[in-house]
Structure 1
Amino acid sequence: MTRFPLGVLPTPLVRADRLRDARGGGPLWFKRDDLTGFGVAGNKVRALEHLLGDARARGVDVLVTGGGPDSNFVAAAAQAARVAELDCELVVWGDVGETTNLALARNAGARIHPLGSDDRARVDAEVERLGAELARRGRRPLAVPRGGSTPVGATGFAAAAHEVVEQWSDAPPTVVIPVGSGGSVAGLLAGLAGTGWPVLGASVSRPPEEITAKVLALAGETAALAGTAPPSGEQLTMLDARGPGFGVASPADRAAADLVLRTEGVLLDDTYGAKAAAVAMEHVGADPTRPTLLWLTGGLVSALSHVSEVRGYSPEFRSRTPEGAP
């Protein structure tokens, strides 16, 4: 499959010993996909490299995708399309005011199409409709769902799985990764098939049973595309990390992110990073013998918006469940 290079890969695999010492429990590692080196794309660059490589190979002239006004993928897609010399059309749900990520997208030349609704589930259908409309006008579009979660996009994360296995020299860890649209974890499952590495998904957007079915189907399609063995559903455990809602961290999630910042100097966003860190901290305490590998996905723009809020927490981890939550 054709790849359009964007990121600085491989990203580092680092021990988080200061965080482990503060928290207790077993060995703790970070996969630093927040350091892919392309804009502020974080791990989104892995999917975009394969999506744009495929698009250019097929003569596509416009990338059509979408997300929310604070979406890191929206900004990353626009920047990647510009570098690849493609036009970019973005369907955006919610308030399309001048967020930092939308400003980055506009600066890259993307055209913004407000959905006119807060229903983010409608974005993918509108992306398909817009792509079909552009095709009728004689354009050659590639319509991509939120997060780049297609078998082609997930291939980038299958490659990431091979990358981290080559970097690893200890007993198989439990990989903890935030799960939104599902492309990242689906690709990892496809790439980790047969390795014995369990994956713990922190679902930040959908009920676990709903996203699990989507992830396993996409992982199977990704493996088929790569011509590799299908992954086993037994490798995946999906936890409900939504807390107060998509993009909203609970006090316990923020406490986990605060601890990561104070011990390791790493900023985590509220949508993905803080919630996955809380899950990882629980796992480290629950199983002190197995290494835990927290996959850092990026989200620097979102994380910076919360720097002023990083105060008032003691540097100790507390339960993820907000006080008074059901």
Structure 2
Amino acid sequence: MSGLVRTTALPWAELARFPLAAGPTPLVRAHRLEAALGIGPLLVKRDDLIGFGVAGNKTRPLEFLVGAAVQQGARVFVTGGGPGSNFCAAAAMAARAAGLACELHVWGDPRSANLALATAAGATLVPTGGSVREEVDEQVMARVAQLGASAYGVPRGGSTALGAVGFAAGAAEVAAQLAAADVRPGLIVLPVGSGGSVAGLLTGLAAVGLDVPVLGVSVSRPLDEIRAKVLELAAGCAALLGCAAPDPGALTLVDARGPGFGTASERERAHAREALWAEGLLLDETYGAEAFSAVVDLVDPPADGPVLWWHTGGLLPAVGSLLKGPA
């Protein structure tokens, strides 16, 4: 259990947690971006500044997932994803920090900045031999069954009930910041991939009694599918923490898949450029550009408070998109 910490006074207090984040991440008002785009009050939760590698919000579930792996006595952390997976690079770095080997089962073309970082951090890439995302989770679980207790496996994105606890803790973090600033948002907006982040956020908001609606911007799955997944994960997270499951009515989802997973539309790229020019914010094409564009295009300013946009990070894909230039 060396290197583990335990939280206090909140529902996740008894869970093993391997410290990675340099938190709390800043919560700031984006005055220049408001003026540039003519939008209402905008708060930004800066998980791009979480302080661990370039892992962004993926750091949050990994603190608990890696903590569980260390507690189990595992020697290898097994997970996977696609070429644009922020989670794969983050998992490789987190495993290395905890003294674990990392095995990544990847679909598609492995030549990407994120997977290059993962291999630089010592991860072993295992191609699935196909391009279907679902094959990754099947292969990860088969590999864990083969290795036994020496391996700890998680599905792509780290989206498990335990992984969602990381964002439940993030909800408590932002609630404390809002209370200190005497501000209450009218809406929280964040991107949704495999569902763990928004599931944990809903659970954490309910646990700390902060009744704020959440808008999830789906970047990879149809709305019916991802809604069911998010609510399943939220219920599992709440059960793990001994809390009541969050109200499904607190969640609204919008479809931002557009040209396809990992590819932003030109309008989304234009909004990302505004965020860069006005505030120095780097937005990736997989999550950040889509979620921020939803804030600009789809969100009417709530009458009861500012919009809080959760900037989840994704530095390497964001830089790669800028280097490629306009489509």
Q: TM-score of the superposition, structure 2-length normalised? A: 0.91
Percent of aligned pairs with the same amino acid: 56
Between Structure 1 and Structure 2, how many residues are aligned? 308
Which of the numbers 134, 142, 147 marks the counterpart of 1:129?
142
Measured in 2, the distance between the counterparts of 1:289 and 1:225 equals 32
Q: CA deviation at 1:20?
A: 1.0
Q: CA deviation at 1:108?
A: 1.8
Alignment partner, residue 56 of structure 2: 42
Q: Is 1:144 matched with 2:158?
A: no
Q: Is 1:248 matched with 2:263?
A: yes
Measured in 2, the distance between the counterparts of 1:171 and 1:44 equals 25
Alignment partner, residue 226 of structure 1: 241
- Aligned CA distance change for structure 1 residues 170 and 286 (closer, same or farther; 3 Å): closer
- Aligned CA distance change for structure 1 residues 311 and 247 (closer, same or farther; 3 Å): closer
Q: CA deviation at 1:286?
A: 5.1
- The amino acid that maps onto 1:116 is G
Secondary structure (helix, strand or coil) at the match of 1:113 reads strand
Alignment of 1:191-202 (within 5 A): 191-193=204-206, 194-202=209-217
Deviations 1:123-170 (A, max 9, x none): 1111111111222xxx51111001111111110100000000110121
Alignment of 1:77-92 (within 5 A): 77-92=91-106
Measured in 1, the distance between the counterparts of 2:140 and 2:271 equals 35
Identify which range, 166-175 or 205-214, moves more after superposition: 166-175
- The amino acid that maps onto 2:220 is S
Measured in 2, the distance between the counterparts of 1:70 and 1:210 equals 21
Q: CA deviation at 1:283?
A: 4.2
Measured in 2, the distance between the counterparts of 1:288 and 1:270 equals 30
Which of the numbers 111, 122, 125 marks the counterpart of 1:109?
122
- Aligned CA distance change for structure 1 residues 311 and 122 (closer, same or farther; 3 Å): closer
Alignment partner, residue 266 of structure 1: 281
Alignment partner, residue 319 of structure 1: none
**Is 2:186–2:304's contact at 8 Å kept on the other side of the alignment?**
no
Deviations 1:175-207 (A, max 9, x none): 100000001000000001142110000000000
Secondary structure (helix, strand or coil) at the match of 2:252 reads strand
**Is 1:189–1:219's contact at 8 Å kept on the other side of the alignment?**
yes
Q: Is 1:72 matched with 2:72?
A: no
- The amino acid that maps onto 2:38 is G
- The amino acid that maps onto 1:103 is A
Measured in 1, the distance between the counterparts of 2:236 and 2:198 equals 13
Deviations 1:275-308 (A, max 9, x none): 0001111245454653101101111000001113
Q: CA deviation at 1:87?
A: 1.2
**Is 2:63–2:166's contact at 8 Å kept on the other side of the alignment?**
yes
- Aligned CA distance change for structure 1 residues 16 and 38 (closer, same or farther; 3 Å): same
Measured in 2, the distance between the counterparts of 1:197 and 1:310 equals 37
Q: Is 1:157 matched with 2:167?
A: yes
Deviations 1:106-129 (A, max 9, x none): 122211100111111211111111
Q: Is 1:203 matched with 2:222?
A: no
Deviations 1:38-96 (A, max 9, x none): 11100101000000111111111111100012211111101111110111111000012
Which of the numbers 190, 203, 224 marks the counterpart of 2:203?
190
Secondary structure (helix, strand or coil) at the match of 1:305 reads helix
Measured in 1, the distance between the counterparts of 2:131 and 2:24 equals 37
Alignment partner, residue 9 of structure 2: none
Residue segments in structure 2 that go unaligned for 5+ positions in a row = 1-14
- Aligned CA distance change for structure 1 residues 304 and 288 (closer, same or farther; 3 Å): farther
- The amino acid that maps onto 2:152 is L
CA RMSD of the aligned region, Å? 1.5
- The amino acid that maps onto 2:128 is L
Alignment partner, residue 323 of structure 1: none
**Is 2:186–2:303's contact at 8 Å kept on the other side of the alignment?**
no
Alignment partner, residue 10 of structure 2: none
**Is 2:301–2:307's contact at 8 Å kept on the other side of the alignment?**
no
- The amino acid that maps onto 2:272 is A
Which of the numbers 157, 176, 183 marks the counterpart of 1:170?
183
Alignment of 1:283-294 (within 5 A): 283-285=298-300, 287=302, 290-294=305-309
Alignment partner, residue 237 of structure 1: 252
Measured in 1, the distance between the counterparts of 2:99 and 2:304 equals 49
Alignment partner, residue 281 of structure 1: 296
Alignment partner, residue 12 of structure 1: 26
Measured in 1, the distance between the counterparts of 2:317 and 2:237 equals 29
